[in-house]
C-alpha cells in the first residue's frame, strides 16, 4: 500500500509542530485526517484551514482514546505526540515527571497500537508511523527519561514489524534530531532562554523536513517498508551535539 491507497489517518500531537504539519500535509493530499491533541483552539484552526476532523482530548486518557477509535477505520496511524519535563540527570527526576513523560511518549503509543492496528490487520492495509528521536537511539542526556521512552518506542517498531510479517501493514520510525518547534520551549518553560540555547545561530530542522521524511515512507511502493529514518541537521552529530557557529 502506498499513500494513494490510504483513505484515513489519525495523527496525535496535532496542535503544533511536527504533528500539526503532518496532519495538514495528509489532509492536503486528500486523506480524511483525524487530528488529536489537547488544545481545542489550535485544532479548530487546523480543521478550518485543512479540513481535518478535530478531536480535543488528552492521549493519556485511555478511555477517551477507546471511544475515539471505536468506530474509526484508520489506514495511517502517526504517533506524533511527545513531551519532556525539565532537564537533569536520570536519578534526579521526580515521580510526577517520570509518569508524565512515560504516559505521553510510551503508554499512549501502546494503547493506540492495540486500538488501531487490529483493524489494519483485518483489512490487510495500513501504515504505522512512530515519531521517535535520536534521543532514543543514542544516550544524549539532558532529558534522559524522554530518551528512555523513545528508546522503548524504537524497540516497539521492530517488534511490531515481526508481529505483522506477511501482512500489508507497514511500520516506520522517523527519528529527528533538533527541530525548531515548541518542544524545548515547553520543556524549559522559558521561550527566550530556550531559543537562545537551542536555536539561535544554529541551522536546525523544521517541521517540514520531518514531513518530507514521513511522506517518503508513506509514498514508497507497496512492497517497500521504510523501517527507520534518522534525520538530523548537518551540524548535529548523533551521540553528541556539535553545532558550528554560522
Give mean pLDDT, residues 165-171. 96
Q: Is 146 annotated as catalytic?
A: yes
pLDDT tens string 116-167: 999 999 999 999 999 999 999 998 877 899 999 999 999 999 999 999 999 9
| pLDDT value at 3 more than 90 | no
| pLDDT value at 45 more than 70 | yes
Q: Residue 85: pLDDT band by 50, 70, 90 thresholds? A: confident
- Per-residue pLDDT, 100: 93
| pLDDT value at 240 more than 70 | no
DSSP 3-state of 73: coil
CATH class of 3-234: alpha beta
**DSSP codes, 132-145:** --GGGTS---SSHH
Question: Strand pairing partners for 34?
Answer: 10, 53
Cell output for 35: 487530528
| pLDDT value at 78 more than 90 | yes
Contacts of 128 (CB under 8 A, 6+ apart): 77, 79, 113, 116, 117, 120, 157, 160, 169, 170, 171, 172
In this predicted structure, which of 19-28, 40-49, 51-60, 194-203 has the lowest mean pLDDT?
A: 194-203
Q: Which pTM was predicted? A: 0.91
Q: Residue 107: pLDDT band by 50, 70, 90 thresholds? A: very high
**CA-to-CA separations, 227 to 157, 171, 173, in angstroms, rounded:** 8, 6, 6
User: Rounded to an integer, what distance in angstroms lies between the CA atom of residue 246 and that of residue 244?
Assistant: 6
**DSSP codes, 28-50:** HTT-EEEEEES-HHHHHHHHHHH
Amino acid at each position: 500500500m502506498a499513500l494513494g491507497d490510504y483513505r484515513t489517518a489519525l495523527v496525535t500531537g496535532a496542535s503544533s509542530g511536527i504533528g500539526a504539519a503532518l496532519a495538514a500535509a495528509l489532509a492536503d493530499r486528500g486523506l480524511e485526517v483525524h487530528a488529536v491533541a489537547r488544545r481545542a483552539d489550535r485544532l479548530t484552526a487546523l480543521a478550518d484551514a485543512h479540513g481535518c476532523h478535530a478531536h480535543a482530548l488528552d492521549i493519556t486518557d485511555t478511555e477517551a482514546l477507546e471511544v475515539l477509535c471505536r468506530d474509526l477505520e484508520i489506514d495511517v496511524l502517526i504517533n506524533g505526540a511527545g513531551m519532556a519535563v525539565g532537564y537533569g540527570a536520570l536519578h534526579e527526576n521526580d515521580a510526577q515527571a517520570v509518569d508524565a513523560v512515560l504516559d505521553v511518549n510510551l503508554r499512549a503509543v501502546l494503547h493506540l497500537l492495540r486500538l488501531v492496528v487490529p483493524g489494519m490487520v483485518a483489512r490487510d492495509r495500513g501504515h504505522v508511523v512512530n515519531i521517535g528521536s535520536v534521543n532514543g537511539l543514542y544516550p544524549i542526556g539532558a532529558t534522559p527519561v524522554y530518551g528512555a521512552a523513545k528508546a522503548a518506542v524504537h524497540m516497539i517498531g521492530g517488534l511490531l514489524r515481526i508481529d505483522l510479517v506477511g501482512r500489508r501493514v507497514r511500520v516506520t520510525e522517523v527519528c529527528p534530531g533538533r527541530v525548531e518547534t515548541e518542544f524545548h520551549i515547553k520543556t524549559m518553560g522559558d521561550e527566550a532562554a530556550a531559543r537562545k540555547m537551542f536555536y539561535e545561530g544554529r541551522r536546525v530542522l523544521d517541521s517540514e523536513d520531518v514531513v518530507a521524511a514521513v511522506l517518503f515512507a508513506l509514498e514508497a511502493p507497496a512492497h517497500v517498508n521504510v523501517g527507520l529514518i534518522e534525520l538530523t541537521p548537518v551540524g548535529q552529530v548523533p551521540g553528541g551535539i556539535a553545532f558550528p557557529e554560522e
